[in-house]
Structures are given as C-alpha cells and as structure tokens.
Amino acid sequence: MMHQRLAFIDTLRGIAVLSVVVQHALEVIVREHPTGAYHAILHDAIGYYMNFGRFGVVLFFFVSGFVIPFSFPGSASPVNDFSISRFFRLYPAYWTSIAIGLVTMQAVESKTYPVSQIAANLTMLQSFLEVPHLWDFYWTLTIELLFYVVCIGLFAAGLLSQRLTAVAILVAIALAGTAVAVLVEDRAAWVVMEAGLNLSAMFLGKIVRDTVISGTLRWRHVAVCTALYALFAITLCNSRYGGVYDDNFFYSYSIGGAYVCAALVFIAFAAFGERMAWRPFAFVGVISYSVYLMSPFAMVWVHHYAWLGDEPLGWLAFVAEVVASSIFVSWMTYSLVEKPAIAFGRKLRSDRRTQVVLEPALSRQGASQ
C-alpha cells in the first residue's frame, strides 16, 4: 500500500504534546507561586489524580508502536535506511533544542552546564553513559531509541512481522514486571521495570495496529494484552510512586492512571480511525516533536518576562501564553530545521524497490516524545 498520512494519529500526537505542555505549565504555578485556597485543587489535579504529562508521553509511546515497526522500507538496505530515517527525524531537532536550551538557561537564569554533560547529551545516549540529562524531559528519547534498537533486532531476526511476536513480548514483560513490582523491594529494579512498562505500551500500539489495519490479530488479543498492561502499570506505579504524596509531588494514582487512560484513549482513536481526526490538533501533531523539545524553553521565557499575576486569570493567561508561544516557536523550528532534515535524510536512503504499508508521516515522539 502507498504511504499515507493518518490524521487521527496526528490528532493523537497533538493531544499528547499539549497534555505535556499544560502539565508542565501547571507544575510551575503550583511549585513556584502562592496558590492559596486553590493549592489543593491544582496540586491534586496534576499530582494526585492524573499526571497529564505522563499521559501525553505514554500516548506518544503508543503512536511509536503503531508506526515504527512498519517504517522499515522495502529497499536493498532496509535496516540502514531505517536508521538514516530515524537519525534525521530525531537528532537535528534535538540538537537545536539543546542549543536553544543552553542559550535560554544562560540568558534567563544565568545557569551553565559542564562541557562533559553537554557532550554526552549530544549523543542522546546519556542514560546509557550514566550522565544526567540536561533537562529531565529528555528521558523519553532514551526509551524511543531503545525501542528502535529492539525493532531492528526483531526485524533482522525475521520476527518483527510475525503475527504473535508483539503479543508474546508484551505478555512476558507484563508478567515479569508485575512479579517484580510485587515481590522485589528494590527501587532500582522498579526503575528498570518502568522502562519495560514504556516498551510494553509501544508493543501494545503495534498489537492495536495489527488488529485495526493489518487484520492479523483480533480484538481479543487487544483485550488480554491491555488487561495485562494495565495490571502491570497499576502494580508497578503503586510500588514506584506510592508513599508520602506531598513530598513526592506525584502519587501512584496520577502515574498509574495516566498509563491506563492513555491506553484507553489510544484504543478508542484506533477503533474509530479517521472519524476521530480533528484538524487543529492534527496541525499541532505535525509539529509535535518540536513542540515537545522547545516548549520547556518557551515556558522559561514566558514565566520570566510575561507573568501576569498570582490569581486564576493570571494562571490561565500563563498557560495560554505558554501553549501559544510553544506552537509558534515549534512551527519555526519544524519549518527551518526538522522538515528540511527529514527531506535530506530521504535523499540518503537507497532506492526503494517496493512500497511498504501505511506509515503516518512524522513518527516522532515524543516523546518524545
């Protein structure tokens, strides 16, 4: 089938990245400003009952699972071409984010970073090098890269297109992760299992695609895998984030609920397909990777120079300013950096001999995911 853009996937990306942006803006209000009688309401909304940031990130993971395993071109060198495509989709915009971030933090907060930390972050492999992220939101890119590596390995072994591969992987991860969360009292083990939970979201995205587009799986596969995924998420988050709520800011309900709600929203969108597409969110979805990378720095500038007051109208204006400025800056970086880089990467790929299945354009995260 010819490559084709799926508007409902872009809509999901738009919902995902706006959820992240709004969460981060509300966190600034709750953490750094007096909210008086509204404190409990705002804090509970984003810290106790639902973490909209994690909800958005997990939606990105589902989209990656829906898209990435089907992005290997039918060419003479599919793994090489896939790697080139992923590199030019991720790295130029990511490097631009680092440059803008360094300038922003120096100009606004007079903050600098060690050269060794910057160099490690330029590779996007800082987690594996045991070097801190320059900014916390980069953690999602590590999961994205890990998923790429897993997909390449499965593709090379001839397993990626096998009917039950994703089902078997998700079941194994979910059962093992749930057992570890219940039986092992080790925070390091929980952190590793959280990476497994994020990967399982991606494989559930593939299972949903195999059901609604490829038709190789049935809804019973989706139901069983979703149930195991939800059990894994709730159990792990209870161990990982349970405890003293006010000290941790986030609680198990907010994180676990984000994982489960993201699954339900994604499955609903996939089930109804293009009927769920909405143009304004789809537009944001097109530039969602840039929004994810640039919005934290747009927020720093807005917070420092355009704060309008410590009251509900001021908070609402701040969120609106952050969203609007993030979209504007990201549209610029998408047009000037991300889109040209993707086009250049296409020129470096080998000639295609066949066309592969539907692949929505701009299969980025988000989130970078």
- pLDDT profile of the chain (369 residues), mean per 10: 74 98 97 93 94 98 96 89 96 98 97 97 94 96 96 96 96 97 92 96 98 95 98 95 84 95 98 94 97 98 95 97 98 98 90 45 38
SS3 75: strand
Please tell me the predicted confidence (pLDDT) of residue 363: 38
Spatial contact of 348 and 124, defined as CB atoms under 8 Å apart? no
Please tell me the predicted confidence (pLDDT) of residue 4: 65
pTM over 0.75: yes
Q: Distance (Å, rounded) from C-alpha 91 to C-alpha 112?
A: 22
Spatial contact of 229 and 201, defined as CB atoms under 8 Å apart? yes
Q: Cα dist. 21→180, 269, 303 in Å? A: 32, 21, 13
